[in-house]
Amino acid sequence: MSEDIKVIQKAAVGADTTQIANQNNYYGMTAEEASSLAIKLFMDNFPKLQEEARKIAEERAEELCKNVIVKLERQGKKDFSDFSDPDIQYILNKSHQEYARFGTDTLFELLSELIINRINFNNDFYMKIILDDAVDIVKSLSEAHLNYLSLTFLCKQTKLEKINSVETLKEHCEYICSKLPVPHNIEDSIPFLNMLRLFTLSLGCAAETFCKQYNLDLDKVKEILPSMMHSIPGDYKLSPVGIVIAIINIHNKTEFRLDFKIWLKSV
């Protein structure tokens, strides 16, 4: 916010000159202002549609924007000036367009979390690049793809302190398979996910990885692994973009809470 103020300047003895100066008293942007700005930006840039389609697109934009702002407010955010940053506006507009086109609940949750993290990591160049790429990719992923990414990540790139025996590993595996189910032919998706740059080379199947992580017997681990665990690729693990998408899906469907930055350091 800016205000015009009068400045009285002495010009000579007995004479004053009056100038109007502009003083920037910045108070930040409210949640309502941020929401209006983001929705207007989207509607101004989205292709012109028939009235009914335009109404649906605008409703979806409002729904997504409201969800993002509510979650940011829960985190304690009060100043929404980030919404006026052209870089943030680009990712908001991109996300609004994708949700307006597809409108699924899964995409709604994924894009909401990606936008929130994009705003929170706005000063971190590395995270910005990863999150921007993730926004471009998630529209192409089915529920099975998302679960497969999450399963692969939990099997090949995480280690839990509570697992100290084959029995506790079995309990862990059964839990994540119940929350992140994949079809029996999910391995057919590996070339597609690799094409999207969600995988990177890393040798070792799920059973071998668990054995190394927890110092367990390979044959016993193979016996207790749920069948879908055998679909985890032995020659890949997740790329940084894959990790971000997998973690958001894990947050949405399980009790696990993982920090992006911790896991991305090991990539």
Instruction: Give tens-digit pLDDT for 131-156.
Output: 999 999 999 999 999 999 999 999 99
Fill in the DSSP letter of residue 238.
Answer: E
Q: What is the pLDDT of residue 57?
A: 80
Does residue 121 register a pLDDT over 70? yes
Closest CA to 67 of 88, 59, 81: 59
Inform me whether the pLDDT recorded for 238 exceeds 90.
Answer: yes
In this prediction, residue 50 carries a pLDDT of 63
Express each pLDDT in 186-216 by its tens digit.
999 999 999 999 999 999 999 999 999 999 9
Q: What is the pLDDT of residue 23?
A: 37
Given this model, what pLDDT does residue 18 score? 39
How far is the first Cα of the chain from the last one, in angstroms, to the nearest whole number?
43
Q: What angle do CA 47, 48, 54 make, to 5 degrees?
A: 105
| pLDDT tens digit sequence for 75-111 | 998 888 888 888 888 888 889 888 988 889 999 999 9
Question: Residue 13 above 80 pLDDT?
Answer: no
Return the pLDDT at 46: 63
pLDDT for the residue numbered 267: 58
Checking if the pLDDT of 116 tops 80, the result is yes
The residue among 9 and 175 whose pLDDT is bigger is 175
Non-local (6+) Cβ contacts of 109 within 8 A are 248, 252
* pLDDT band of 12, cuts 50, 70, 90: very low
More reliable by pLDDT, 182 or 53:
182
How high is the mean pLDDT of the chain? 85
Please report how many Cα atoms fall inside a 13 Å half-sphere around the Cα of residue 63, on the Cβ side.
16
The per-residue pLDDT for range 214-225, each reduced to its tens digit, is: 999 999 999 999
Helix/strand/coil for 250: helix
How much is the CA Rg of the chain, to the nearest whole Å?
25
**Nearest-10 Cα torsion for 6, 8, 9, 13:** 160
Q: What are phi and psi for residue 216, nearest 5 degrees?
A: -115, 165
Following DSSP, what letter does each residue of 136-182 receive, concatenated?
A: HHGGG--HHHHHHHHHHHHHHS---TT--SHHHHHHHHHHHHHHS--
- Using the structure block, give the residue that is written with the tokens 């029996």: 184
pLDDT for the residue numbered 5: 37
Integer angstrom CA distances of residue 48 from 2, 39, 54, 95: 34, 15, 7, 17
Note the pLDDT of residue 3: 42
Residue 242: is its pLDDT beyond 80?
A: yes
Neighbour tally for 150: CB within 10 Å: 28
Q: What is the pLDDT of residue 49?
A: 54
CB 134 within 8 A of CB 245: yes
DSSP 56: H
Q: What is the pLDDT of residues 30-76, one digit of tens each?
A: 878 777 777 676 667 666 656 667 788 888 888 998 999 999 999 99
With cut-offs at 50, 70 and 90, classify the pLDDT of residue 11. Answer: very low
